Amino acid sequence: MPFSWFERRIDPYPEAAPGPAPRGFFAFLWAGTEGMRPFILGMMLLTASIGAFEALLFAMLGKVVDWLAAVEPARLWADEGGTLLLLAAIIVGSIALVAVQTMLKHQSLAGNFPMRLRWNFHRLMLGQSMSFYQDEFAGRVSAKVMQTALAVRDTCLIMTDILVFVTIYFVTLTLVVASFDVWFLAPFLGWLALYALVLRWFVPRLSKVSRVQADARALMTGRITDAYTNIATVKLFSHAGREAGYARGAMQEFLHTVHAQMRLVSGIEIVVHSLSMGLILSTSGVALWLWSQGQVGVGAVAAATAMALRLNGMSHWVMWEMASLFENVGTVQDGINTLSRPHAVVDRADARPLVVSRGEVRFEHLGFAYGATGAQARRVIDDFTLTIRAGEKIGVVGRSGAGKSTLVNLLLRFYDLEQGRILIDGQDIASVTQNSLRAQIGMVTQDTSLLHRSVRDNILYGRPDASDADMIAAAKRAEAHDFILGLTDPKGRRGYDAHVGERGVKLSGGQRQRIGIA
């Protein structure tokens, strides 16, 4: 089977940088399908063909039943052999149709679609400012990236695959039963009207509950992740019980949404089953009445009854798919609130790389209040001016909250200035690219948080192109080489290949700082 050929049709990791995510629901979906639209369109056309074919199978069934009732067994093959062979060829040919549609859906789209979205969403979130992450749980953001990618895929596939199939199937079915006798339309159209009313009542309520549930799930995940991320603090202050209670509040809120959802689900199951039984009874009754009046043959009775039975099975499936659709719509709308937030700090269109020749830094009349406005707003930094000459070493001293860390964050352009400017060798940092600015500045923070990767990956993070010799030389200068050689992890990796745990939790504070310096 050519699975790998279909799997390679879509690139899940495009090189082009993703643009800002639109805030509108359909605009967001449309942007998310970039690069996949031809495959989605092809799947839609194949799905429509399969839907029409399945409905026409019942017409074929009715025809065969009529032959069995009217044609002598000995003459069936002689009279209808050619038609039977044609029907058999069409049925066998449909296998290829279904195979291509299935591989488009499952090989080309099911995996690559959400992975491409995750890749783009992740790059969008990496471009967010520090202030964004100060206001959000890291676990909540990662949950939105994962959940929204799957929800966008499922929403698009339900609308372009399942709803297309059901629509084409029902339209074709209606034409088939009308060709038997117009009275056959009464039970089918009556069922459709009642089914639409059921959808209209239940689905919006499921959508509302699903939106609340998606937010509650993200909050629950964020609280749990926050406790695990700061497990040393939790254990230091013996607050395991307190943290469990903090998470339990979010869990209970999530459980309330589950109960509300399941009540609606039970109601749906009962009502839809009642409608389906009504359809089977009414269709069978109309079919038998028309047959008793001599208006239709046995084939029409068999075909119409089989269609009603098929709709019985489909009605539950469609209802669940509609519920899933609106659940995913709620998840997408919730994700849009996070993923479409504009970046607070962006490079100018004409931004150029920073070129450092000497290393002089000038702060000119800086003013910054973390976005606070109004008469009560207090500026953390107000009309601050300082020149640091090339090669000069200085220390900035002040009480807690005086703005020392803020000054460094502004130099790194984690925030845009509200007043004044910062120049490095005469270049305004607002006019250079953020990556080139930060690549020229070495920084060891008060709280050195390492990546949950190897020592090698952490040291080379600032210069991925550095050689092993450069890495070891840097570690020796930071007096880290000797203790690094003695490191091991649970998987048996040693030295520079040993993993340091989340945020470097397996190392002491001094060891983390030395690796940070290296």
The percent helix, strand, coil of the chain (3-state, each to 5) is 65, 5, 25
Identity of the amino acid at 112: N
Domain identity same for 74 and 213: yes
CA distance linking residue 19 with residue 29, whole number of Å: 14
The answer to whether position 446 is within a domain reads: no
Secondary element (H or E) of residue 29: helix 25-32
Q: Are residues 237 and 209 in the same domain?
A: yes
Closest CA to 279 of 183, 188, 194, 167: 188
191 and 293 both lie in a single domain: yes
Question: Residue 452: what are its φ and ψ, rounded to 5°?
Answer: -75, 65
Check residue 374 and give its pLDDT.
57
Element (H, E) at 428: strand 427-428
Residue 50's CB is within 10 A of a number of other CB atoms, namely: 20
Residue 197 lies in a domain: yes
- Angle at Cα 149 formed by Cα 148 and Cα 154, nearest 5°? 95
Instruction: Provide the pLDDT for residue 14.
Output: 92
Q: Which of 239, 215, 243 is nearest to 227 (CA)?
A: 243
Q: How far is Cα 148 from Cα 21, in angstroms, rounded to an integer?
A: 12
Contact between 100 and 178 (Cβ < 8 Å): no
**DSSP character at residue 498:** S
Q: Give dist(CA 346, CA 415) in Å, integer.
A: 10
> How confident is the model at residue 151, as a pLDDT?
93
For residue 350, is it within any domain?
no
91 vs 60, 81, 108, 166, CA distance in Å?
Answer: 11, 15, 25, 20
**pLDDT score recorded for residue 152:** 94
Same domain, 323 and 235: yes
For residue 8, give both structure tokens: 């390679």
Choosing from 371, 406, 439, the residue where a domain stops is 439
- Write phi, then psi, for 307 (nearest 5 degrees): -65, -40
Query: Which helix or strand (DSSP H or E) is residue 363 part of?
Result: strand 361-368
Q: Which strands, in side-by-side order, build the sheet including 427-428?
A: 381-388, 361-368, 419-424, 427-428
| Exposure class string for 293-314: b at 16+ Cβ within 10 A, else e | eeebbebbbbbbbbbbebbbeb
Q: What pLDDT shows up at residue 45?
A: 93
Report pLDDT for 39.
94
Helices (H), 412-480: 434-439, 455-459, 468-477
The tally of domains found in the chain comes to 3
Instruction: Report the C-alpha gap between 190 and 271 in whole angstroms.
Output: 15
Contacts of 281 (CB under 8 A, 6+ apart): none
Q: How far apart are CA 306 and CA 319, in angstroms?
A: 20
Q: State how far the alpha carbon of 77 is from the alpha carbons of 70, 302, 449, in Å.
A: 13, 21, 80
CATH classification at residue 394:
3.40.50.300
Residue 324's CATH number: 1.20.1560.10
Q: Among 387, 411, 439, which residue terminates a domain?
A: 439
Residue 199 included in any domain: yes
Residues 221 and 162 both lie in one domain: yes
Same domain assignment for residues 275 and 404 = no
Tell me: do 373 and 482 sit in the same domain. no
Q: Are 73 and 129 contained in the same domain?
A: yes
**Cα–Cα nearest to 371, from 405, 305, 417:** 417
Residues 510 and 400 in one domain: no
The answer to whether position 345 is within a domain reads no
Query: Distance of CA 456 to CAs 332, 470, 480, Å?
Result: 38, 11, 12
Asked whether 121 and 148 are in contact (CB, 8 A), the reply is: yes
236-245, long-range: CB within 8 Å, 24+ apart, which pairs? none
* Domain coverage including residue 114: 3-339
pLDDT, tens digit (0-9, with 9 covering 90-100), for 1-13: 688 888 888 999 9
Query: Do the domain assignments include residue 352?
Result: no
Q: Give the pLDDT of the chain (518 residues) as one tens digit per residue.
A: 688 888 888 999 999 888 888 988 999 999 999 989 999 999 999 999 998 888 888 777 777 776 766 667 767 677 667 777 887 888 888 888 889 999 999 999 999 999 999 999 999 998 888 778 777 777 788 888 998 999 999 999 999 988 898 888 888 888 888 888 888 888 888 888 998 898 888 878 887 887 788 778 878 887 888 788 777 777 776 667 778 888 898 899 999 999 998 898 888 889 988 988 888 888 888 888 888 888 887 887 888 888 888 887 788 788 778 778 877 888 898 889 888 888 888 888 889 999 998 989 999 999 888 776 655 567 788 889 999 999 899 998 888 778 888 898 899 998 888 889 999 998 999 999 998 998 888 877 766 677 788 888 888 887 888 888 888 888 888 888 888 888 888 888 888 888 887 666 667 777 888 888 87
Same domain, 435 and 469: no
Using an 8 Å Cβ cutoff, are 39 and 108 in contact? yes
Residue 510 φ then ψ, to 5°: -65, -40
Backbone angles phi, psi at 495, to 5 degrees: 60, -130
Sequence-separated (6 or more) residues with CB below 8 Å from residue 329: 25, 151, 155, 207, 210
State how far the Cα of 157 lies from the Cα of 102, in Å rounded to an integer: 12
> Is 177 within the bounds of a domain?
yes
Which of 420, 418, 441, 419 is closest to 354 using CA atoms?
441
Indicate if 29 and 120 belong to the same structural domain.
yes
Residue 196 inside a domain? The answer is yes
- The terminus-to-terminus CA distance of the chain in angstroms comes to 51
DSSP 3-state of 12? coil
Alpha-carbon distance values, 4 to 9, 39, 132, 220 (Å): 9, 15, 40, 38
Closest CA to 495 of 506, 507, 485: 485
Instruction: Give the Cβ contact number of residue 467 at 10 Å.
Output: 10
Verify that 291 and 388 share a domain, yes or no: no
